[in-house]
Chain A
Amino acid sequence: MKTGQNTISSFQLFSMIYIFRMVATFTYMLRIRAPLESTDRAIMAIAYFVFSLLFALPVFLCIGKQPYNSVLTLAGTNRHKWTKPVAMYYAFTFIWAAGVAAARFSLFSGIVLLQQENLNIFIFVLLAVSIYCASKGLEPLARAGSVMSVLLFVSLILMTGTVIKDFDTLYLQPPLQSGLSAVIYQGFHSACRNIETTSLLFTASHTKGNLRKGYLIWLVFFCVQLAALFLLVGGIAAEYGNLQMFPLYTLAALAKIGILERMDDLLTGVWVICALLKIAYLLHTSVAAIEEGFQNKYNRNKLLIAGGILVFAANLFLSQNIEFFGKFIASPVNPVLFMIATVVLPLLIFAKNRTKKTAVRGKT
């Protein structure tokens, strides 16, 4: 694959990240952790914003300014003895995140889409298509992502426009009914699922444009929508929304315009494609980590297939039932994996790089 074919713009990158986070939002399971009251879920978006910014700092320190660095090529670490284990750790983290995404989507599909079907076949087909998409490289994924981001945003506006007439502020609970610490905790936990920030460590080197500005714009855009969606659910579905496993899906089910009722079927089609792109992107990034860490020693397509098998295995493990998935997601496993990948390793690599540069300048 020529490097030129794998170069994308900042807009394309953050369009992809936007749809990945929106898919996670729409398949947000309300009752996995201690549920927040309606208004507090919207306030949680502020905590999410703050934590996401904090977690992004080490990433942006590492990638530097244009032309951006990849974390493994930073200051010549590609020949360091730790390069391979670090590459494998990142590959594992992205594969794990893809597995979580697949499991979440599998559970969502099993409840609202294909109640009587064998979901493993559905996920298998989804993964097969994702592997194919990932094999095409970053640029085709980014192009598809930027088109889907427009479709997703338009569908969101349509959905909001049709349900807004039923919105009543009376149904919203007073703010901070769940307590400030619960809101901060949920915001922290949600920010720890933002694996797309971690992926910038490998994707930035293939991106043109101002990534810092792009990230900030994306984060504000996403958090505003997150808060607005949770407020909508609270102000329309009220206590009924708290009973639903996927409250944002309930909102889509209530959307209707003219003779078009139950627009959730239309919207779910968009979400399926977005979920497919997310898994493809994470597979691509995990393979990119291995390729860089092992200096293109292995065949890319074989790596993708191996990655796909591991994602499928992770999905099988996590999607046994919702209770198990919920307990696992609420456990410290994901935050620990995320913090090591996004904060600890980039800071260590950045610090080592700075020490090495200082030592080199000192010698000269």
Chain B
Amino acid sequence: MKRLIIIMVSLVFFSGCSNISAAELGDRLIIEAIGIDTSEDGFEITVLALNTQQSGSANSTDTPDGVAKTYSAKGKTLASAFAAIDLISGQIPLYSQARVIILGKELTQNAPMTALNYFIREYTTRDDILLAAAESTAKQIININLGNNVLASKIIHSVLQSGSFNGMTVTMPMYKFISNLLNETDAAILPIVKITKDEETKTESIGIEGSLLFAAQNSNAVLDNEQTKGLLIANDKFDSGPIEIDYKGSKVSIAVQRCSTLITLLEKPELKYTIDISLSCDIIEFNAPLHRELSMNDVEKLRMATENKIHSIVKNTIGKAVRENKCDILSLGRMLKKKSTDSYNSAIKDYNSFLATIPIEIHTTAKITRMGKEILPLN
């Protein structure tokens, strides 16, 4: 009887469940993607949120609302901009479902940390939310029309994660970007997202246009898609992807199936870095007017051509990023600090000069394992 009374009295305290912060999911603004641009006074936020208040259903004869809606608002700070979004949406924002943050071009040219400071302190935001830079404005990217029942944030998220199989996209979670930005020597990298419009079919799609490098918290250099590939290869982040080679007047497509890279710092006889790249590849296409069988000699030459191609891609990337723009994309500074604090302290005094002059050797080893279904000729 005593327990029953205690239970019944306890029920009185459940009125706290009607508190505003315990709102139903339908009353929350479930944010899927966030775009941040600069405005005259501060920031302009564009969010893509799930449309939990759809008026029609997909099966009705009425035109249904889309699965997502976008909201834009301005503010002097990000917090005030988000507060302005609460005002127009009438819902409490839920950041924990947001998958991507797109930074507008103008914002990336100033210090991007000013925008990210809000998300570092906001505990509900995922620490591994993906970041990207927009080719123009983040608002355009977030407002992309990919279809009425298509959630653009999912497509953008998938595109940003596609680097593991296309070898051209840098996947950058927020915590890694901030770590690199805060480090004394590392360059921080963001993929550049753009909208591609097909004039014929009048459709839009999301694409990647290289990557943006930041050194000392300012945007410094842009790498194109091929240079981004070189960046991924050099950092052992290139799992697989296609390489094109010109061979005897034809285009050959080589698919890299496995790639591993090891960067070693040697102290003697002189301080230098060596990059050892080993690849396992398949020949997937030989673009010639007539079908052409490949001899062992051809395969060997293609193998050497692949090595040269990879070597040249990585060398070109290092030249553009490290030598020209003084962006440490290979974490050379971190390696030096681990190996020798004295050498590091000496190098950090004029790190730009260190990056411009430090010897970096590239060694590439490629292996052709398959040529498709074709049977190899005996000669």
Which residues of chain B (102-134) have a CB below 8 Å from chain A? 120, 123-124, 126-128
Contact partner, B183, options A121, A239, A262, Cβ 8 Å? A239
Q: Which one of A8-16, A68-76, A110-118, A150-158 is at the interface?
A: A110-118
Is the Cβ of B341 less than 8 Å from the Cβ of A240?
Answer: no
Is the Cβ of B127 less than 8 Å from the Cβ of A170?
Answer: no
B residues whose Cβ falls under 8 Å from a Cβ of A: 16, 19-21, 96, 120, 123-124, 126-128, 174-176, 178-179, 182-183, 331, 334-335, 337-338, 341
Beta-carbon contacts of A150-182 to B below 8 Å, as 1s and 0s?
000000000000000000011111100000000
CA distance A185 to B306 in the complex (A): 56
Q: Is the interface of A mostly helix, strand, loop or mixed?
A: helix
Contact partner, A237, options B16, B179, B334, Cβ 8 Å? B179
CA distance A112 to B124 in the complex (A): 7
| Any B CB within 8 A of the CB of A7 | no
A residues whose Cβ falls under 8 Å from a Cβ of B: 111-112, 114-117, 121, 169-174, 237-243, 250, 253-254, 261-262
CA distance A238 to B182 in the complex (A): 10
Q: What residues of chain A lie closer than 8 Å to B21, measured between beta carbons?
A: 114, 116-117
Q: What residues of chain B lie closer than 8 Å to A171, measured between beta carbons?
A: 179, 334
Q: What residues of chain A lie closer than 8 Å to B183, measured between beta carbons?
A: 238-239
Is the Cβ of A239 less than 8 Å from the Cβ of B337?
Answer: no
Is the Cβ of B331 less than 8 Å from the Cβ of A262?
Answer: no
CA distance A114 to B19 in the complex (A): 12
Nearest Cβ on chain A to B245's Cβ, whole angstroms: 32
Q: How many A-B residue pairs have CB under 8 A?
A: 57
Is the Cβ of B127 less than 8 Å from the Cβ of A250?
Answer: yes
Contact A239/B178 with A170-B334, A262-B96 known, Cβ cut-off 8 Å: yes
CA distance A242 to B183 in the complex (A): 11
Q: What residues of chain A lie closer than 8 Å to B19, measured between beta carbons?
A: 117
Q: What residues of chain A lie closer than 8 Å to B335, measured between beta carbons?
A: 170
Closest 10 A-B residue pairs measured CB to CB?
A238-B179, A239-B182, A240-B175, A116-B21, A239-B179, A240-B179, A240-B178, A112-B123, A170-B334, A253-B127
CA distance A243 to B181 in the complex (A): 13
- Closest-by-CB residue of B relative to A238 is B179
Q: What residues of chain B lie closer than 8 Å to A241, measured between beta carbons?
A: 175, 179
- Closest-by-CB residue of A relative to B184 is A239
CA distance A112 to B127 in the complex (A): 13
Q: What residues of chain B lie closer than 8 Å to A169, measured between beta carbons?
A: 338
Is the Cβ of A243 less than 8 Å from the Cβ of B178?
Answer: yes
Is the Cβ of B123 less than 8 Å from the Cβ of A111?
Answer: yes
Sample of 17 further A-B pairs with CB below 8 A, known A239-B179, A243-B178, A253-B126: A111-B123, A114-B21, A116-B21, A169-B338, A170-B334, A170-B335, A171-B179, A172-B338, A238-B175, A238-B179, A238-B183, A239-B182, A239-B183, A240-B175, A240-B179, A250-B127, A254-B128
CA distance A114 to B30 in the complex (A): 18
Is the Cβ of A170 less than 8 Å from the Cβ of B338?
Answer: yes
Is the Cβ of A115 less than 8 Å from the Cβ of B123?
Answer: yes
Q: What residues of chain A lie closer than 8 Å to B126, measured between beta carbons?
A: 253, 261-262
Q: What residues of chain B lie closer than 8 Å to A254, measured between beta carbons?
A: 127-128, 175
- Closest-by-CB residue of A relative to B21 is A116
CA distance A237 to B179 in the complex (A): 7
Nearest Cβ on chain A to B79's Cβ, whole angstroms: 13
Is the Cβ of A240 less than 8 Å from the Cβ of B182?
Answer: yes
- Closest-by-CB residue of A relative to B339 is A174
Nearest Cβ on chain A to B341's Cβ, whole angstroms: 6
A–B pairs, 30, beta carbons within 8 Å: A111-B123, A115-B123, A115-B124, A116-B20, A116-B21, A117-B21, A169-B338, A170-B331, A170-B334, A170-B335, A171-B179, A171-B334, A172-B338, A174-B338, A237-B127, A237-B175, A238-B183, A239-B178, A239-B179, A240-B120, A240-B127, A240-B174, A240-B178, A240-B182, A241-B179, A242-B182, A243-B178, A243-B182, A250-B175, A254-B128
